[in-house]
Amino acid sequence: MAMQHNPFLTKFVPLAKHHDRTYKKWCSVIEHNKDKIR
């Protein structure tokens, strides 16, 4: 998955996992915007 290769996401995901709904929300946002955040 792209999030394993993105420095921002590497920092963000551990935080997000404490909030499962937030994590799922951001996964959707990330999928929708992955070309922008590369």
Residue the block writes with tokens 């799922």: 24
Residue 3 clears pLDDT 70, i.e. is over it? no
Total of domains in the chain:
1
What pTM was estimated for this model as a whole?
A: 0.33
Structural domain for 11, as ranges: 2-37
Q: What is the pLDDT of residue 16?
A: 63
pLDDT in tens, 8-35: 777 777 776 666 677 788 888 888 887 7
How far apart CA 34 and CA 37 sit, in angstroms, is: 5
How far apart CA 37 and CA 4 sit, in angstroms, is: 13
